[in-house]
Structure 1
Amino acid sequence: MPELGRDRLRELLDAVLADEHDELGAMAAGAFATPWHFSRQLSHGTGEPPVALRRRVVLERAAWQLRQGASVTDVAFGSGYESVEGFSRAFARSFGYPPSSVPSADESGSARAHWLPAPNGIHFHPPMHLWVSEREAPPASMQLVAQLVQHDLDDTTDLIRSAGALTDEEFRRVRLPGFYVLEWDGPEESIAAILEHQVWAKEVWLASIDGGEFPARGADDPQSLLARQEQIGPRWVDTVREIDRQGIWGDRLIDALCEPPESFVLSSVVTHVITFAAHRRQLARQLLRQAGLELDHGDPIEWLRDYGVATAPDTEDHR
């Protein structure tokens, strides 16, 4: 930790996280300091402003509670939000998926999957404690990776929902005869095939990373694809975040699902998924337009502007 003594820093952190300290003035009073000095000391000691630190740790606690089976409503009000909608917006902006999609503790795969990126290694650690990690120093480049991953998930979801407006005949019509995105993946000649491969790719790669069995291939109608996408999306976000948190981008994955087994660098796996996901999304967008649907350009600039991802946290519904 920086120059502040451990005891004083702990006092500052306690003041930030006390349930009754829901705004900066109350935090400062709890630490017997003026708001200016409190904010300056805490920011110097942790590299994170007190309000932002509190908001992040409260959301980490909320994610942990949801993984244990708590309801979104109970967690929202227990986290100090005045509405479920305000909590859901803040949660989705931070984690990349809505609170209703949080996987259970058994599915998350990591005891620390509820942690958000932090400049100081300070996190919520159940049941009601902080965990200070000495390793954590996430590079600013992770913000770019996070945006690429989240834009892919959001855009794919929008495309699948748009495809739901088509008849089954139009959805499955062969529009690109003999077309392959990747030879080993098989033909992708229709909107249905392209969108199914889009979801399937993450299902297969996650099974490889987790060391699981080769996944069963689900139904490919728009409603089923949407359900598969909403299930795999949070797991994919958590996996990429955990790779970055552990600093294992250069580690090698032995993919036993390949025949024969192959070795892949984890960073190349994430890059591979992002690259071909972007290609498939634009193919699907063009074919959906040919089918008569009006769609946007899938531009991440417009996505960032419309959804407010990675912008200043929403505080209008937070006390």
Structure 2
Amino acid sequence: MTDPLSVPAPAGRDRLRELLDAVTDAGNTAVGDMARSSFASEFHFSRQVRRLTGESPAALRRRVMLERAAWRLQRGEAVAVVAAAEGWSSAEVFSRAFRRAYGVPPSRAADVHFRLTAPNGLHFHPPESLWLDAGPGADPSAPSVSALMLAHDVDDTACLLAAAAQLSPQQWVADVAPGQTVLEWDGPEASVGAVLGAIVWTKEVWLATIAGHDFPSRTATRPESVDAPTLAAHHDAIAARWRATIADHSAAGRLGDTVIDALCDPPESFPLHGIVAHVLTYSAHRRELARTMLAALGVSVPSGDPLSWMREI
């Protein structure tokens, strides 16, 4: 059975968040109020909330408000104050509801955890947020943090390369940041083309290291040799290899393997998981540099925030 909270919203919108905002808004004391603030009919609003959460709007609101009330009582607030603030008609009505939910009167709120049993893992989260448990039925294929960051790095680099295609040939190689050097051995990166080229080049070099191939030529990533669309096409190929290589080694449990580079003087050891961390760290730094440089050249790009990116995928 599909988790009702996993139903995707249209790109760029968090419909569940919109519905929950309407349900928990202090001014929306009735389902009709909730529906109006969510720009939906009462019937469709109720059906959406029940489909996405497994609870009616009224039941969901009541439970979340009780959880928040219990937390506030545990912090020492008076019963009458909490009852009024959470929208109960009187302290007596609130006390009866609290006892039914928690099995103890409000005066014993310290004896219970403020979370109540929920059909959807959705709870009040102090001080004014909500928390959604992944639960035992969570998708086992959900990406790890490292897999998520690998995918974000590749997608964000592609976004920046697409934006850089708006530059003129002169802007692509212009010294926007004279003297800028990220890593000494990579040389100066004063232009947008140099910074973006270095992101692609770094993955290409480490892929060769992992695979045991010859050191690759840098021509395909130098801004003097390629324009943004050409570099973007090269990036697509390198990124596909990069993600596949890391995924294969991860699945085989081999990210703990180590490459000993005898070409270094003295020789250096590079664990694969350290290589991934190195690539992601400096790619993130360069992507932010590229954003700043593109902005200086009049090209606007999205923020690159992984949270914003996740809403679009």
Normalized against structure 1, the TM-score is what? 0.51
Partner of 1:236: 242
Shift, 1:158, TM fit: 0.8
Partner Cα distance (1:275, 1:299) in 2 = 15
> Shift in Å at residue 213 of structure 1?
0.6
Give the superposition deviation at 1:256: 4.7
Partner amino acid, structure 2, of 1:289: A
Which of 224, 230, 233 is equivalent to 1:227? 233
- Aligned runs of 1:131-210 on 2, under 5 Å? 143-210=144-211
* One-letter amino acid of the structure 2 residue matched with residue 207 of structure 1: A
Whether the 8 Å contact between 2:150 and 2:280 is mirrored in structure 1 is yes
**Distance of aligned partners of 1:262 and 1:240 in 2 relative to their CA distance in 1, 3 Å threshold:** same
Which of 267, 281, 288 is equivalent to 1:282?
288
| 1:164–1:223 CA contact under 8 A, matched in 2 | yes
Is this contact kept in 2: 1:209–1:255, CA < 8 A? no
Deviations 1:51-104 (A, max 9, x none): xxxxxxxxxxxxxxxxxxxxxxxxxxxxxxxxxxxxxxxxxxxxxxxxxxxxxx
- SS class of match (2:254): coil
Give the share of equivalent positions with the same residue, in percent.
44
Seen in structure 2, the aligned counterparts of structure 1 residues 204 and 141 have a Cα distance that, compared at 3 Å, is: farther
Contact preservation (8 Å) 1:208, 1:257: no
The alignment status of 1:250 with 2:262, answered yes or no, reads no
Q: Which residue of 2 aligns with 1:21?
A: none
Task: Quote the residue 1:263 is aligned against.
Answer: 269
SS at match of 2:207: helix
| CA spacing shift, 1:151–1:296, aligned 2, 3 Å | same
8 Å CA contact 1:253–1:265 kept in 2: the answer is yes
CA pair 259-193 structure 1, distance change in 2 beyond 3 A: farther
SS of aligned partner of 2:182:
coil
Matched residue of 1:249: which SS? Answer: coil
Shift in alpha-carbon separation, 1:293–1:265, aligned structure 2, 3 A: same
1-structure distance, mates of 2:217, 2:265: 17
Structure 2 counterparts to residues 1-319 of structure 1, below 5 A? 143-217=144-218, 218=220, 219-256=225-262, 258=264, 261-307=267-313
Distance 1:190 1:266, change over 3 A: same
Q: Which amino acid aligns with 1:235?
A: R
Distance of 1:210 and 1:252 partners within structure 2: 12
1:220 Cα shift?
3.1
Larger RCO: 1 or 2 (CA < 8 Å, sep 6+): 1
Query: Could you tell me how far apart the structure 1 residues matched to 2:265 and 2:186 are?
Result: 14
- Superposed CA deviations along residues 115-147 of structure 1, whole A, max 9, x for unmatched, are xxxxxxxxxxxxxxxxxxxxxxxx989611111
User: Is the 2:176–2:293 contact (alpha carbons within 8 Å) kept by the matching residues of 1?
Assistant: yes
Q: 1:225 to 1:257 in 2, by over 3 A?
A: farther
Partner AA of 2:250 in structure 1: D
**Once superposed, which parts of structure 1, at least 4 consecutive aligned residues long, lie more than 2 Å away?**
139-142, 255-262
Q: Counterparts of 1:163 and 1:252 in 2: how far apart (Å)?
A: 36
Query: Displacement of 1:288 after TM fit?
Result: 0.4
Alignment TM-score, normalising by the size of structure 2: 0.52
Could you give the per-residue CA deviations for residues 238-263 of structure 1, whole angstroms, max 9, x where no partner exists?
Answer: 11111211112222112355455421
CA distance in 2, matches of 1:267, 1:228: 24
Q: Tell me how far apart the structure 2 counterparts of residues 185 and 141 of structure 1 sit (CA, whole Å).
A: 35
* In structure 2, distance between residues paired with 1:146 and 1:212: 25
CA distance in 2, matches of 1:249, 1:276: 19
**Distance in structure 2 (CA, Å) of the matches to 1:192 and 1:269:** 24
User: Counterparts of 2:263 and 2:243 in 1: how far apart (Å)?
Assistant: 21
> 1:142 touches 1:244 (CA, 8 Å); kept in 2?
no
Give distance in 2, aligned partners of 1:201 and 1:300.
21
Residues 259, 195 of structure 1: CA spacing in aligned structure 2 closer, same or farther, 3 A cutoff? farther
Residues 246 and 202 of structure 1: is their aligned pair in 2 closer, same or farther, counting only changes over 3 Å? same
Structure whose CA Rg is larger: 2
Q: Which amino acid aligns with 1:174?
A: D
Contact 1:159 1:284 in 2 (8 A): yes
Unaligned 5+ runs, structure 1: 1-35, 40-138, 308-319
